[in-house]
Amino acid sequence: MLSADMQSPAAVIFDCDGVLVDSEILAIEVEIALLAEYGLTYAPADYHHRFLGLNDAAYQAALDLDARDRTGRPLAADFLHRAHTQRWDACQTRLVEVPGCAAAVSALGLPKAVASSSGADFLREKLRLTGLLAAFDPHVYSADLVERAKPHPDIFLHAAHRLDIDPARCLAIEDSVNGVRAALAAGMTVWGFSGGGHVDAHGAARLAEAGAHEVVETWAEAAQRFAGF
């Protein structure tokens, strides 16, 4: 459903990782293995809940606090560079769209944008690799463009502004708790999306608990709902 005061959205704003492209499952695999080398171990579900949707600065700051607490040392200075390199390599060879995404997006007749925590260059490369860039260009927006990253609303507000559409008339689609909170703070209707390869059995419930107006499980389901807009 949509929020009570919006019968139909005027635009749809999509997160990228885990929504459009199935990159989160690759990132979690790479990052958990790498962090273990630094003495930081995480259960995948806890890692997902805490860190997905954060930009690099917020992610690094949170890990640094964990490192100081658990190991008595700051996070290694080379961690983020190594993580970026390994994520890049994994995406170059293994990245795919979330199943059904391209068909659903191409059928959507409304203005649309991407609002992501990824760095600008990596964001565009992931969309290019999966053949999705042309569907959104030039409305591809990275948290690099704003002062505060998710769970703050800045990137969603920026995307709505660039589309020239009132945020209250936008539908946001997000796979992370941090992303849901950001879109809600922007005043948008929010659909949680639980169709990414990284989402566990409790993922949909976490999105609903974070305040998503509805949780959509597949792109086929989303496409059916798009047809009613």
Domain locations in the chain as residue ranges: 11-23+96-226, 25-94
Supply the CATH classification number for the domain 25-94. 1.10.150.240
Q: What is the pLDDT of residue 4?
A: 46
Instruction: Place domain 11-23+96-226 in its CATH homologous superfamily.
Output: HAD superfamily/HAD-like (3.40.50.1000)
Q: What is the pLDDT of residue 99?
A: 95
Check if 11-23+96-226 and 25-94 are the same fold: no
The string of DSSP codes covering the chain is: ---TT-SS-SEEEE--BTTTB--HHHHHHHHHHHHHHTT----HHHHHHHHTT--HHHHHHHHHHHHHHHHSSPPPTTHHHHHHHHHHHHHHHH--BPTTHHHHHHH--S-EEEEESS-HHHHHHHHHHTT-HHHHTT-EEEGGGSSS-TTSSHHHHHHHHHHT--GGGEEEEESSHHHHHHHHHTT-EEEEE--STT--TTHHHHHHHHT-SEEE--HHHHHHHHTT-
Q: What is the pLDDT of residue 3?
A: 57
pLDDT tens sequence for the chain (229 residues): 555 455 699 999 999 999 999 998 898 899 999 999 999 999 988 898 788 878 788 899 999 999 999 999 999 999 999 999 999 999 999 999 999 999 999 989 999 999 999 989 999 999 999 999 999 999 999 999 999 989 999 999 999 999 999 999 999 999 999 999 999 999 999 999 999 888 887 889 999 999 999 999 999 999 999 998 8
Q: What is the pLDDT of residue 2?
A: 59
